[in-house]
Amino acid sequence: MDYSENVLKLQPSATIAVSTLAKKLAAEGRDIINLGAGEPDFPTPPWVSSAGVEAIQAGQTRYTPAAGTPALRAAVGEYMAGGTAHSTDPQRIVVTAGAKQALFNACFCLFGPGDDVLIGSPYWTSYPEIVNLARARPVPVFGNEDRGFKLSPDDLEAAYTPAVKGLIISSPSNPSGAVYTAEELAAIADWCKTRGVVVISDEIYREIYFGSEGLRAPGLLDLPAAGLGTVVIVNGLSKSFAMTGWRIGFSWADPDLTKKMSALQSHVSSNASTPSQLAALRALTKPDLASATRSEMVAAFRRRRDLVMGLFDELAPRCGYVRPEGAFYLYFRVDALFDGTYGSSADVCTGLLEEVGVAVVPGSAFGDDRYARMSIASSDAELEEGVRRMARVLGG
């Protein structure tokens, strides 16, 4: 088949592929521990789900405006910018079918042929693909490994050319779990503003933060208004409210850009699912319930992070890892195994699946073949068993 140049480089999502394969093997009766999936293992809180059910039963099943219902856009504006120096204006918000669509809207509206987009690396696997779909060029940029790969203005300056139009970062990071401090974000925002580079800040793991109890990880909107040039903040409910299947994300941006992204979405997919929007509205307008849900989830992720780090230190000391300060992954090195049996992170991950029945994602999916990523969004028992099994291959 002669495909259009639009999709010539397109590959399916590696994170989804690993998880799908693990589920298939488990359905065939294999004893598989799936640590590939990047989704909370908690159910959507019932007080949120019930709003979706009630919406369906009340017949709220028709189109809404493409950018979302006015009530939800207002609630999202408040959620993203409330209490900051920035505007909560609903005209800055597009409600999308998952954060993925918000990232796509932003890249497709801002970048095109001849543009380079710097990508904080290791990166979430979809960023380069989304930039490619906009026909721009993704340029991975790694910070210092000792700082959890976080970027500094010097790293960005070294990668800068006049073709650079944008930067994509995620904090807390998928896959590394590294979290930028407000000062580090300010330095990056300042560099981007000076260079006229748009920042797309993916803050979808902001609520899953192990720093100060009860606080979200620092975000770009914590900075003073004068510190920001053109920015798009992406967030959503997939992770923070365990709502991956409901497909609710959103963006905060300048009202003109928001209009353009909404126009794009009006032709590509229209509004995010209407009952999901009603559930999202409930999620964002019950702060006491939300905070109790979040505390419970974050406490579990923190406990599991500590458990898994302890097991790695004890059982696989040759596999260094980035200490996760947020999100729900452990990003660990596997290159000590590149000794003839295994030549790449994909080989190691295939070996782990075949030999000990544990699914994790090769670092090549995130731009660094020396690593692999395991999800810690599984029960403590599964995590313990999963790491013990992996250690039979990784230990030594």
Binding site for ligand GLU (CB under 6 A): 13, 15-16, 38-39, 124-126, 174
In the complex, the smallest distance separating the C-beta of residue 293 from ligand PMP, rounded to whole angstroms, is 17
Contact between 369 and 293 under an 8 Å Cβ cutoff? The reply is no
CA 256, 261, 267, 269 dihedral sign is: negative
16 binds, among ligand GLU, ligand PMP, none (CB under 5 to 8 A by kind): ligand GLU
Comparing CB distances to ligand GLU, the nearer of 228 and 297 is 297
| Contact flags string 157-176 toward ligand PMP, x per CB under 6 A | -------------x---x--
In the complex, the smallest distance separating the C-beta of residue 364 from ligand GLU, rounded to whole angstroms, is 14
Q: What is the DSSP secondary structure assignment for residue 255, as one 8-state letter?
A: H
Question: By rule CB under 6 A, what count of residues binds ligand PMP?
Answer: 13
* Position 30, amino acid: R
Tokens 């991950």 — which residue? 349
* Position 314, amino acid: E
- For position 38 contacting ligand PMP by CB under 6 A, the verdict is yes
166 binds, among ligand PMP, ligand GLU, none (CB under 5 to 8 A by kind): none
Comparing CB distances to ligand GLU, the nearer of 220 and 361 is 361
170 binds, among ligand PMP, ligand GLU, none (CB under 5 to 8 A by kind): ligand PMP
Contact between 365 and 11 under an 8 Å Cβ cutoff? The reply is no
Comparing CB distances to ligand PMP, the nearer of 13 and 344 is 13
Q: How far is CA 216 from the centre of its chain?
A: 15
Comparing CB distances to ligand PMP, the nearer of 238 and 276 is 238
β 329-333/321-322 pair status: antiparallel
- For position 20 contacting ligand PMP by CB under 6 A, the verdict is no
Residue closest to ligand GLU (Cβ): 38
Cα→Cα distances 317→307, 333, 341, Å: 15, 10, 19
Residues in the chain: 396
49 binds, among ligand GLU, ligand PMP, none (CB under 5 to 8 A by kind): none
Tokens 């195994």 — which residue? 337
Q: What is the DSSP secondary structure assignment for residue 29, as one 8-state letter?
A: T
- For position 265 contacting ligand PMP by CB under 6 A, the verdict is no
Q: Where are the beta strands (DSSP E) in 26-82?
A: 33-34
β 329-333/371-375 pair status: antiparallel
With b meaning 16 or more CB within 10 Å and e meaning fewer, what string describes 104-119?
bbbbbbbbeeebbbbb
In the complex, the smallest distance separating the C-beta of residue 23 from ligand GLU, rounded to whole angstroms, is 13
13 binds, among ligand GLU, ligand PMP, none (CB under 5 to 8 A by kind): ligand GLU
Select from 124, 241, 250, 252 the one that contacts ligand PMP (CB under 6 A): 124
Comparing CB distances to ligand PMP, the nearer of 302 and 373 is 373
99 binds, among ligand PMP, ligand GLU, none (CB under 5 to 8 A by kind): ligand PMP
Q: Measure the CA angle with vertex 232, ends 207 and 49; round to 5°.
A: 40
In the complex, the smallest distance separating the C-beta of residue 157 from ligand GLU, rounded to whole angstroms, is 29
With b meaning 16 or more CB within 10 Å and e meaning fewer, what string describes 283-303?
bbbbeeebeebbeebbebbbe
The rounded distance, in Å, linking the Cα atoms of 186 and 198 is 14
In the complex, the smallest distance separating the C-beta of residue 352 from ligand PMP, rounded to whole angstroms, is 21
Q: Which residues contact 360 (CB under 8 A, 6 or more apart)?
A: 18, 35, 36, 349, 352, 372, 373, 374, 375, 390
Select from 100, 150, 260, 302 the one that contacts ligand PMP (CB under 6 A): 100
Q: Which residues contact 299 (CB under 8 A, 6 or more apart)?
A: none
236 binds, among ligand PMP, ligand GLU, none (CB under 5 to 8 A by kind): ligand PMP
249 binds, among ligand PMP, ligand GLU, none (CB under 5 to 8 A by kind): ligand PMP
Comparing CB distances to ligand GLU, the nearer of 92 and 100 is 100
Please count the other Cβ atoms lying within 10 Å of the Cβ belonging to residue 183: 10
Tokens 């059910």 — which residue? 53
Select from 98, 128, 177, 326 the one that contacts ligand PMP (CB under 6 A): 98
- List of residues contacting ligand PMP (CB under 6 A): 38, 98-100, 124, 170, 174, 202, 204, 236, 238, 244, 249
